[in-house]
Structure 1
Amino acid sequence: MGVEGGMKCVKFLLFFFNFIFWICGLALIVVGILVQLALHKTFMIRDATASGAPIVLIGIGVVIFFIAFFGCCGAWKENYCMVTTFAILISLVIIVEIAAAIAGYIFRNKISTVVQDSLTEMITKYNNSSAEFRDAVDKLQEDLKCCGANSSTDWKHFKPDGTSVPDSCCKNVTANCGAKTMTDSAKVYQKGCHDALEALLKKNIQWVIVAALVIAFLQIMGIVFSCMLMRGIRSGYEVM
């Protein structure tokens, strides 16, 4: 009876962990989509390597979402084949996550260059872009309280006079407040957006890493419980 009760406990723990996996998979899909939108719409980062991390997050989320459902069915029905397949698939997902973590670490070291290139492109295209693009640039500068990539002088080609900046660079945004005020520290932010945007992205990456570690721990526990349940089923113990 002790083994029977123990296996029943393992069965429900595995079912519970799979339910958590299912939620985590859904969360990863949502986070991946939000990160992708933030990088390419809010932050306007066009570098293809920046898309790698969110796409991997979405992909892993979709896989975990379906694997967790598969694992729940296997645990509930006490099907040895389904539980074994679940353990193998989760192990493969962990390997992919390790690869993604390495790729994320490499990208983390490239953030400074990617941000610099993206901000420079943003400034260059500002005048000839859509209203939506300009609004996004303005919102970025207003939210981060910055101006240009490295300093306000990055906007020297914004107007023919060479001394004007977009109104979003102003400390108090009003119509035409950026006209001929490029170096006026009382009216315009002199610090560029590079450092602030890089710090924000690195902070977000750190939160993603923390979330990944939590999910990885849950996955390892899921594999442990799967192996225990597989052993119990294979040994012919009655777990119902």
Structure 2
Amino acid sequence: MSRSGYTCVRYIFCYINVLLWLSGCGILGVGIWLKTNHEGYASLVPQYSWMGADIVFIVIGAVTVLVTFFACCGSWFQSRCMLITYFSLVIFMFLMEFAMATLAFVYRERITELLKDELREGIEHHYSNTTDNGLSMIWTHTQQQFQCCGIDRPEDWYEIDAWPNQRIVPRSCCRPTEAQNPDCWKENNQDAWFLKGCSEQVLMWFVSQLHIVGIVGLVVSFIQLFGLISAMLLFCTVNHKRSNGHHYKAYPAT
């Protein structure tokens, strides 16, 4: 590779990873904020609290910061060790993404039922009607946003721990036209409720957003592919130049 081409690839690679590193710091910060201020998010799936939004953001942010650190330092200081570490990490991430996507597709029905069971567990035993916790906030927002009630049906809210022996629903199940009715959440006012379950509504919304998922997937794949090619080009060029006693900058060989 010519010196100008090498320098161009090196700087583009470095600057892109600086931006990704900053993004990773932001994602990590959001995860920490969710962990410290909205612990109820994990109650959505109590048996799998490690899958909560806070933990997911923290893991994604930490991995992004770590991987891009090796990329930035490897390209800027022309470190072969850091470049090959970055290359290996990206390969590992790609294989993990492929494996997770494959498993999610193969076991999609089982995963759906498992999530429904866990969501139902969260409603029955972790939902609180008296405290403004993360779980109640999520359900309130979800039911109002998607105009739904419960997981599969409004009856999912009947006789939960928050209101034992009562066949009622949260006020967020009430239609907007019935919001002024102080008793809209009671059993004798079922006509005032959203009748569709949230699992169906959220699934329909997700299907309608598949084009966005596809675009995000393509962008992530392009960044990973660019990173792999760039890292290998930089590694091979640095290795070749140093084997011949040449350095583009006076950095010690590593």
Rounded Cα–Cα distance in structure 1 between residues aligned with 2:104 and 2:30: 15
Counterpart of 2:172 in structure 1 is 168
Rounded Cα–Cα distance in structure 2 between residues aligned with 1:123 and 1:210: 34
5 Å-filtered alignment, 1:148-159, equals 148-155=150-157, 157=159
Q: Which moved more, 1:78-87 or 1:30-39?
A: 30-39
Which runs of 5 or more structure 2 residues have no equivalent in the other structure? 250-254
Counterpart of 2:85 in structure 1 is 85
Output one character per residue of 1:31-61: Cα deviation in whole Å (capped at 9) or x when no partner.
Answer: 7779999996298233529818985664354
Q: Does the CA contact (< 8 Å) of 2:157 and 2:169 recur in 1? A: yes
Rounded Cα–Cα distance in structure 1 between residues aligned with 2:34 and 2:217: 15
Rounded Cα–Cα distance in structure 1 between residues aligned with 2:143 and 2:42: 11
Output one character per residue of 1:203-240: Cα deviation in whole Å (capped at 9) or x when no partner.
Answer: 78885664344223212212212222222222225435
Which residue among 217, 233, 240 is the counterpart of 1:235?
240
Which residue among 183, 186, 209 is the counterpart of 1:179?
186
Question: Which AA in structure 2 matches 1:62?
Answer: A
Question: Which AA in structure 2 matches 1:173?
Answer: A
**Normalization by structure 2: what TM-score?**
0.68
**Normalization by structure 1: what TM-score?**
0.71
Output one character per residue of 1:137-165: Cα deviation in whole Å (capped at 9) or x when no partner.
Answer: 44443333222333334455468685x54
| SS of alignment partner, residue 71 of structure 2 | helix
Output the aligned Cα RMSD: 4.2
Q: Does the CA contact (< 8 Å) of 1:33 and 1:54 recur in 2? A: yes
5 Å-filtered alignment, 1:10-159, equals 10-26=9-25, 29=28, 41=41, 44-48=44-48, 51=51, 55=55, 58-105=58-105, 108-125=108-125, 131-132=131-132, 135-136=136-137, 137-155=139-157, 157=159
Which runs of 5 or more structure 1 residues have no equivalent in the other structure? none
Q: Taking CA–CA contacts closer than 8 Å with sequence separation of 6 or more, which of the two structures ends up with the larger relative contact order?
A: 1
| SS of alignment partner, residue 45 of structure 2 | coil
| SS of alignment partner, residue 184 of structure 2 | coil
